[in-house]
Structure 1
Amino acid sequence: MLVFLISALRAIIEMLGMCLLGQGMLYVLAGRGRANNPIYQLFDLITRPPRKIVEFLLPGASGRTISVAYFAILLLLWLGLAFVRKFI
């Protein structure tokens, strides 16, 4: 049961990371028109709640700093859960 919970949490974190990467690619490709892109809006809808948590943890940080910190936290959580799953 514990392995399933770790795997499910890892999958959610992986999905958030992929959405964040997709959002970043659309930021580069679409430029200013990204706000009207429905896929960008979907990625923003998915990644907004965890981003608000990171914004709360880093008060006064700029948008890019929050995005980098958000991705780093997701990556560390994903790797940490992989490590824990390996030894359970």
Structure 2
Amino acid sequence: MDRIIYSIEESILDGTYQAYCPELIITSFGDTSDEAKESLRREIGSYLEDCEELGVLDDVLIEAGFYDNDEVWMSSLVTPPKEPKITII
């Protein structure tokens, strides 16, 4: 599977942490922020593996607002890092 870059939104309610991927509409929970994010990554990984096995991964990603920049599938909600400015003296 190609590398896929997506956004994660976090929140907490009554002591339970929530991690949410708005592009794929997947939510996971945990006792800590890190647990919630790790659970979300596992859920997304499982979902995307299923999509790949069914042969619909590219279609699902495009429908969710991702684009292929020849290196990774990038979410349209994520700002790509800027190229570093290097000056040789």
Q: Which has the higher strand share?
A: 2
| Relative contact order, higher structure (CA 8 A, sep 6+) | 1
TM-score, structure 1 normalization: 0.37
Q: Mark the structure with the bigger radius of gyration.
A: 2
Higher helix proportion (structure 1 or 2): 1
